[in-house]
Amino acid sequence: MKNLRTSKIILTIIVIFLFSCGAQESKDGGRRTDNIAYDVSDEAEHTSKVKVDNKTVVEKEEANQNPNPIPDVAPTDSDTLIEPTPDKIYENEFLNASEKPISTFSIDVDNASYTNIRSYLTSYNQLPPQNIVRIEEMINYFDYDYENPTGQHPFSFNTEIAECPWNKENKLIHIGIQGKKLDYNDIKPSNFVLLLDVSGSMGSENKLPLLKKSFEKLLDELNQNDRIAIVVYAGSAGLVLPSTPASEKKKIKRALNKLSSGGSTAGGQGIILAYKIAKENFIENGNNRVILATDGDFNVGQSSNKELVELIETKRDDGIFLTILGFGMGNYQDGKMEQISNAGNGNYFYIDNIKEADKVFVKEMRANMFTIAKDVKIQIEFNPLYVKEYRLIGYENRMLAKEDFDDDKKDAGELGAGHTVTAIYEIVTANENNNNNKSNTTFVDNDIMKLKFRYKPPKEEKSILIEHQVINKSTDFEKSSNNFKFSAAVAGFGMLLKGSQYSGSANYDMILDIAKISKGVDVNGYRAEFIKMVETAKSLNK
């Protein structure tokens, strides 16, 4: 009996050990990712060679393997929705124009906040958390009908003043900047390094499978002079595909479709390797860019916001630009990716469905992937004779000190070919008979403000200054342009979602009315989609 009991105990221990091993394998996605280096070969259509601990292993694949189908919207049942936790964003306040007449900020053409908000509303039927609402990214999701540049600089400036719809006693100043479009007869070749997160957290359909389909769209837009390399990272980083001519589409797509998820996330190692590959294949006078695609769940090595920002800052002087693409929900780290993109001559998008991938990689690919100006800063000086107080709507994470404007060492935002940038100020008008208003001698009669604009050409480190005077000429809101009205509707919607103390009389019905009358020509349906989002938010807010 004693021997029998001993045998049972031993058997129980063995079963528990085997079960724990199986659970760990499942947790890691069934695949070891430590010390991985990938090599894609043309020798066999359905095999891949993977070096694990310096030993080559051949993995068999099913013939004609197809990726998982891509949903039009993020699934609602395969992810647990968890609120992102970026730092709290405190709204810009009204400032006294006599005491602080100068407002300085970096441009922002990112639009990840808008698509993240859309995903909450349309895929999950939830109001978004207030701390992911960045109003400037909502406004700049849309193109506006601004005049194209005609002078020596690759920008045009469009300003408009009209009454504020949510506070009739105040006015809005709309500032629009149009970047020059590319000359399609003289497009410089691109050196892209795709840095792809293949960790275990990327397993759901709206992450890695959607990522693969998105990059296939980018590949179809490139020409034979462009090159693509693929770096992946999980427990450690590896080179999947050396820099390869984009004309070899079959080889590149095969490398993409062989990727699977598993393991922890060593994002810092991947960034280092991706920039190394980009530098080794650097194209002089070309378009050199790392494209990082991830859910942002970095948890191995350099993984804190501070560490990753510092790492990216050391790389931005190499003439290599950065694009960050966010995927998925659940453990999605919105705040982390916004900070990284801000630090690295970068832009940031959130891909919530295949239609958004089409917008980023097809319809607006040239604007998103080709930089025409870097370190772009705007400085506004208000005339206290006409402006008592002012408030910049949004751009809280992009505010700069007055001295930063003339400091060429201070990093700022990048502008892509054909991009538009829009900013809106709400102002309290001054009583012209008030003798306490201090006029600045730099203003010409009837100037309400002076707009200063600094930028650097992509290959240069010395900035160029442009100055533009704005006269004090306003109109009724109803007579303002569709550009003015629609951007005001988006700004008002953002304030409602944030629970802003400055939203005044704004409500969802007001926003809907303004958006509908200013929808204008809506070729791609983006403005119609915005209207549906407002209607959804209205119903959820009851």
Amino acid making up residue 323: T
176-210: b (≥16 Cβ within 10 Å) or e: bbbbbbbeeeebbbbbbbbbbbbbbbbbbbbbbbb
Q: In this predicted structure, what is the pLDDT of residue 29? A: 39
What lies within 8 Å, CB to CB, of 407 at 6+ separation is: none
Give Cβ neighbours of residue 50 (< 8 Å, ≥ 6 apart): 36, 38, 39, 56, 57, 58, 59
243 and 384 part of one domain: no
pLDDT of residue 72: 37
pLDDT of residue 99 exceeding 60: yes
Q: Is residue 296 domain-shared with residue 337, that is, in the same domain?
A: yes
Q: pLDDT for 448-459, tens place per residue?
A: 999 999 999 998
Structural domain including 481 reads 97-182+372-540
Q: Which tens digits make up the pLDDT trace of 64-76?
A: 333 333 333 333 3
Entry pTM? 0.82
CB atoms within 10 A of CB 261: 23
φ, ψ for residue 261, nearest 5 deg: -100, 150
What is the rounded CA–CA span in Å between residue 89 and residue 128?
14
Pairing of strands 167-179, 420-429: antiparallel
- pLDDT computed for residue 66 by the predictor: 35
The answer to whether position 170 is within a domain reads yes
Domain annotation covers residue 536: yes
pLDDT for the residue numbered 241: 96
User: Does 227 lie in the same domain as 141?
Assistant: no
Is residue 12 in some structural domain?
Answer: no
Say whether both 249 and 388 belong to one domain.
Answer: no
User: Quick check: 519 pLDDT over 70?
Assistant: yes
Q: Does residue 34 belong to any structural domain of this protein?
A: no
- What percentage of the chain reaches a pLDDT higher than 90? 64
Whether 106 has a pLDDT exceeding 80, the answer reads yes
Instruction: Find where tokens 């004090």 sit.
Output: 472
The larger pLDDT score, comparing residue 336 to residue 328, is at: 328
pLDDT at 449: 97
225 and 169 assigned to the same domain: no
Q: How far apart are CA 185 and CA 257, in angstroms?
A: 33
**Mean pLDDT of all residues belonging to the chain:** 83
What's the 3-state SS for 482-535? HHHHHHHHHHHHHHHHHCCCCCCCCCHHHHHHHHHHCCCCCCCCHHHHHHHHHH
87 domain residue, yes or no? no
Residue 382 lies in a domain: yes
- Residue 357 scores a pLDDT above 60: yes
- Share above pLDDT 70 across residues of the chain, in percent, rounded to a whole number: 78
34 or 363, which is more confident: 363
- Look at residues 320, 346, 367 and tell me which one is the last residue of a structural domain: 367
User: Which tops the pLDDT comparison, 454 or 332?
Assistant: 454
Residue with tokens 């469905």: 353
Residue 246 has pLDDT above 90, yes or no: yes
Report the greatest alpha carbon distance in the chain: 107
Report if residue 169 sits inside a domain.
yes
Element (H, E) at 17: helix 2-27
pLDDT value, residue 76: 34
CA atoms of 176 and 158, how far apart (whole Å)? 5
Phi, psi angle pair for 514, to nearest 5°: -65, -45
The pLDDT score that the predictor gives to residue 261 is 86
Q: What is the mean pLDDT of residues 152-167?
A: 96
Helix (H, G, I), strand (E, B) or coil at 95: strand
Listed in order, strand segments (DSSP E) in 63-147 are 95-96, 102-106
Q: What is the CATH number of the domain that holds 290?
A: 3.40.50.410
Same domain, 389 and 497: yes
> Which of 459, 454, 342 has its CA nearest to residue 408?
454
Same domain (yes/no): 275, 339: yes
According to DSSP, the β-strands at 387-392 and 371-382 are unpaired
Residues 296 and 322 in one domain: yes
Confidence (pLDDT) at 302: 53
The beta-strand segments (E) located in 273-340 are 287-294, 321-327
Q: What is the DSSP pairing of strand 287-294 with strand 321-327?
A: parallel
Query: 344 pLDDT exceeds 80?
Result: no
Q: Clarify whether residues 282 and 414 are in a common domain.
A: no
The whole-number pLDDT of residue 349 equals 94
Question: Is residue 293 predicted with pLDDT exceeding 50?
Answer: yes
Residue 223 lies in a domain: yes
Average pLDDT over residues 327-333: 72
Please tell me whether residues 139 and 286 are part of one structural domain: no
Assess whether pLDDT exceeds 80 at residue 12.
Answer: no
Q: What is the DSSP letter of 73?
A: S
Q: For the residues 90-96, what does the mean pLDDT come to?
A: 96
pLDDT band at 171 (very low <50, low <70, confident <90, very high): very high
Among 239-248, 331-340, 474-483, where is mean pLDDT lowest?
Answer: 331-340
Check whether residue 421 and residue 287 sit in a common domain: no
CB proximity list for 190: less than 8 A, separation 6 or greater:
222, 225, 226, 227, 283, 286, 287, 288, 289, 369
Residue 473 has pLDDT above 60, yes or no: yes
Domain edge (last residue) among 325, 347, 367: 367
Task: Give me the number of domains the chain comprises.
Answer: 2
Domain end residue (candidates: 324, 349, 367): 367
Residue 298's pLDDT is: 61
Residues 488 and 502 in one domain: yes
Q: What is the DSSP string of 257-275?
A: HT----S---HHHHHHHHH
Higher pLDDT, 120 or 84: 120
